[in-house]
Structure 1
Amino acid sequence: MRTDFKRPKDKAKDIYWALDFAKEHYGWITALCAFLASFAGVASLSSYSLYIGRPDVFLRSLEFGPSLAILFVACFLLFVGLVGSMLVTSYVFASTISFLKPEVEQAKTVVRWLFGMTAAAMAVLILVVLAGTLLDYSTAHLGWAFLSLIPLVGTAWKFFEANVGKLGCFPVAPGPLRKILACVALVAALELIALLGVFPASVVAKSFVGPDTILGLSQALMFSFITMLGSLFPAVVFHMNMAENRLIRFRLVLASVFGFIGVLTITAPAMFGFVSVGGAHTIGLSDLEQRHYLVSSDKYPIGRFDKARWNTVEDQEKKFIIDAISLYSFGSVELLCPVNLRLVNAPQRRDYTHRCVRFTRSAVTALDAVDGDDSLSQGQKACVASIPFYPVSAAAWLNAIVSEFAHRTRIVIPLRLNDGQKYLLNVRKSLFRRCNAGN
């Protein structure tokens, strides 16, 4: 028996409709998810190879085997995590709208009001993260996040005044006390939604790899804000089309979810590139740890490698050892680069990857990691020792809010400034480049 797509008479059954639909149509839903995971895996691989300026490694590494299967599974889990955290926020937002019981004819107006109020609260959260990153703050904790209550408190009373008679749970002429209680409940619900939006935003912030400038910080926060707003799209689309039947509304919700993912991965090239870098590191496509690699000299003569750049050491049995980082490792391809490339910002690495060598995986063996102190001169060691601990970054603030909100623990991130200087993101890395250039 197929699912009845008409609006059920018993409103208590509304919440189970989507579950019944998924149960009866799990076959094509599972196939669609598998296709999206496969597409996301190949697309991430392609975009990452383009981002690092070495598209030649993509097709050579693309082969059916365990590596491709693991890539699909990893991308599928990342997909489920991001969409799952997104749908939690959307579910709470939809529940808030359902509790208010707006009239079908006035649903669009009510949804616009609530979406605007929640977006304002999320914007304040992003501004708090921006201020906490740039200014001299010594802690990043949940208390600062409650500044987002300001726009909610300022607009809740106006919301009920503008929507009198449009809400089924609210009388036409409420008393002052009831109106105050309604404002408090609405502010609490929308603040919870804004805080839940931090979870998908933190996923984006962790994957973001951008320049060590205010522009890079702004890009990270902008992408986080877009993700927070996007987490509301399914609920907004669902309730903005209350006059339509259930099947159309469900299709619109699916379209909003896939459309939002498309915005993140296709129509925003900068976002796609940055997330590809973070995702590549997460699933093991790249390894920026300096390591010793044992290379076969039959296919790759040692004379073709600059000794100063690769720190080559000749070994026995037609093999030699180099110091390198792995910028791309998939299938039968291993792209090794000189170690100084890891000191270059991710967006600028494509300008130097022509120095990297594409190896066949069978001709290279990864050995132990190199201790960072062993690769520094005495002058560099003294210079690095003077570098202070980097301050709170945008991702640290978002992660602090997430951790404290989830676990109710106070997170304190130490901030030490050198002679009053307020360093931005990844200061240690940029100063290390200065040390490396000066010695």
Structure 2
Amino acid sequence: MEKAEARSLVERCLPRFKDAGLSAPDGITDVKVRAIATLWAGMGSVYDLAVSSKNGLQNVVAKRVQLPKWCDSIGDQRKKDSYDVEAAFYQKGHAERLISAGCMVPFPLHVEHSRGEGVTICMTKVEGRASHPRGAEAFVSWLARLHATYWGRRADEACGPDAGGLQLQGCYWHLDTRPDEHRKMPSSGWMGRLKLAARAIDLRLKADPLQSVCHGDAKGANILYASGEGGEAMPLVYDFQYCGKAAVTKDLAYFFNVEAHPSEAEEERLLRLYHSELTKLLGAQGDAPPELAALKTSLELALCDWRRFSEIGLGGWGDDARHRVQKVLDRLDGGRALPNEEAYIDAMQREYPASRNSRLRSLTPPTQREAERVAATNDDADGSSDSEVLELVETVRNRATTWSHEAHKSIMDKLGIQLHEGADVSPPRATFQVRRGSAMV
């Protein structure tokens, strides 16, 4: 970033300085630019802008995202979506909402989009240490405040491009966005069993009553610690690209497994601390808190979900948790692989019901069954009318974040639709180019 460009950017931040607790510069005399981080896949950089004026030196952080011309892979699309989400986090009031709730995050100063080519997010600079002797306790309390703030229906209101802009599915490892890693899992041994159980675990976590907005990447690289007046740890948290709706235990399982590395006794203590904090916060806002037993069950399933991705996608990053994963699998299958994914869904429903009257969604979605009905009963030579096909394809497109690649293709096969070579039917943003006879849909 050139100095003149940086100065212009700082000037566009000035109207928010007072709200952020910064002093309005009395005549900017210089802006020094220093790159402090490079974004994944070379999609931009993070800059420290040191603003000099007659009344001193202040710092602004600018995250500049530069997207490739085409985001045609699942990975590139996931990253693009994540930057849109982070822009929404700072642009749509989420940062201020968390600060008001006692969760310290950067204060937004300016967000601008570059005609679909990227986004620039300017925020206050958070300063602290990478660790603190009581950092784990402080951070699980921070998570409790985050989760209480968006508990239940509040998460739905905060997520999606037509709502609050956060991820419809929080956390970067959820199954729908990681089909390649799932496909690469071995088909034998405990990982083969986990591969078959992955869809059941995913569905159970989606149905979990403990839903809120999760941070989605709660590791040490995204946390700094300041010290309060009494020496207590104060987490300063950033990087909200994968912030969105999920079972709250996904944040906990990830943080414990890759960052805190607690002993069994220490994890129990931290989980009880989190539960105590969450219970107080939910009670104060009129929400019924979860039982500790429900939190523990959800945590074990969330750990299985994380290790499903980590074992392949990140080379096993994090503590070895296979004994805990195998304990869950043993309860589902008795120590021997079940025949298929549907069998694991049935076992999950039996052994880990989300609630007394709930049932996990079948792998055969309602729209797929409707597609089968249309294809079987319509009198048209093609098997169904163009209007019905258009409606079904649109439904598939809208649900692309929750259906697997195979489910998308299965629906099209049932309708007798031929997919063009190269057509993208992969979540999270499936687009369909299909031909029925001589008509394009």
| Structure of higher CA gyration radius | 1
Higher percent of residues as helix = 1
Q: TM-score surpassing 0.5?
A: no
TM bucket, shorter chain: under 0.3
Where relative contact order (Cα < 8 A, 6+ residues apart) is larger, the structure is: 1
